[in-house]
């Protein structure tokens, strides 16, 4: 019996190692960049919400699209307020936070029964701020962007309009841990662009902040413009005769 128990433990250990190996292989992104277990979980949640948002639990700040297929003139786009309420035309406030889109659709139908014979409302989650990333610094279009499954640093930069001419080759990826403590990770954008199959193009997670600072040369030019050219009444150089 003892021999049988040992054998079963060995088999279970091998199966677990095999599963971890498969998970590690599955954590390799399309560009070859390894994703952490947290990133894999976050991507799975995003894919699930994108493929079937009827199971998503609505939160304050979410932007909702409400479609009345038989009465399109009542179609609306609303944002869930911090108190969890939304405001609908002709019926007023309705609680939305904590509900799924399917449950909220039924509540909207009930609210519109006095106005419409067959409301048949359908709620779609248009934007989820809890699944956004933020890009700032030397970026052509800085701001907040929806986090797509498997989104990487280079894809986020592209979504934000690309780098400016003064951008540094190294960006900072600011990510908070489970306790809310921020951590800064250096990302060599130039290296990630030159070798997309490498490990530099990191996968992103919800609420990540990507900051692209000015390059050293751009900072020097700004210093010269402000403290030299801007203060000296004449140009600090002589024209060269042709």
| Domain final residue, candidates 127, 153, 184 | 127
The pairing of beta strand 170-176 with beta strand 182-188: antiparallel
**φ, ψ dihedrals at 59, nearest 5°:** -125, 160
Which residue(s) pair with 163 in the sheet? 139
Q: Do 112 and 138 sit in the same domain of this protein?
A: no
CB-neighbour burial class of residue 81 (10 A; exposed 0-12, middle 13-18, buried 19+): middle
Number of domains in the chain: 2
Q: Do 112 and 137 sit in the same domain of this protein?
A: no
Q: Do 97 and 164 sit in the same domain of this protein?
A: no
* Three-class DSSP labels, 133-156: EEEEECECCCEEEECCCCCEHHHH
pTM of the model: 0.49
Domain of 68, in residue numbers: 57-127
Per-residue pLDDT of the chain (242 residues; tens, 9 = 90+): 444 443 444 444 444 444 333 333 333 333 444 556 666 665 665 555 554 455 778 888 888 999 998 899 999 999 999 899 999 988 999 999 999 999 999 999 999 998 898 899 999 888 776 678 999 999 999 998 888 778 899 999 999 999 999 899 999 999 987 677 888 899 999 999 888 777 788 889 888 999 999 876 655 655 555 545 555 555 555 455 55
Three-state SS for 187? strand
Residue 156, domain CATH:
3.10.560.10
């Amino acid at each position: 019996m003892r021999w049988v128990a040992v054998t079963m433990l060995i088999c279970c250990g091998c199966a677990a190692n095999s599963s971890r190996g498969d998970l590690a292989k599955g954590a390799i992104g399309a560009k070859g960049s390894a994703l952490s277990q947290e990133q894999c979980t976050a991507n799975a949640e995003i894919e699930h919400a994108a493929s079937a948002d009827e199971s998503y639990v609505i939160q304050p700040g979410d932007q909702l699209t409400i479609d009345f297929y038989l009465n399109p003139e009542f179609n609306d786009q609303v944002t869930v307020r911090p108190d969890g309420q939304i405001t609908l035309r002709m019926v007023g406030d309705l609680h939305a936070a904590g509900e799924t889109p399917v449950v909220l659709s039924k509540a909207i139908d009930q609210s519109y029964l006095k106005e419409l014979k067959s409301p048949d409302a359908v709620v779609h989650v248009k934007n989820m701020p809890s699944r956004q990333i933020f890009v700032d610094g030397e970026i052509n279009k800085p701001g907040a962007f929806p986090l797509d499954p498997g989104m990487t640093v280079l894809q986020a930069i592209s979504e934000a309009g690309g780098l400016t001419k003064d951008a540094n080759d190294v960006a900072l990826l600011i990510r908070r841990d489970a306790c809310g403590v921020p951590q800064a990770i250096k990302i060599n954008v130039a290296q990630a662009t030159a070798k997309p199959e490498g490990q530099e193009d990191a996968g992103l997670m919800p609420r990540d902040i990507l900051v692209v600072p000015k390059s050293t040369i751009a900072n020097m030019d700004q210093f010269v413009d402000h403290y030299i050219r801007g203060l000296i009444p004449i140009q600090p150089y002589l024209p060269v005769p042709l």
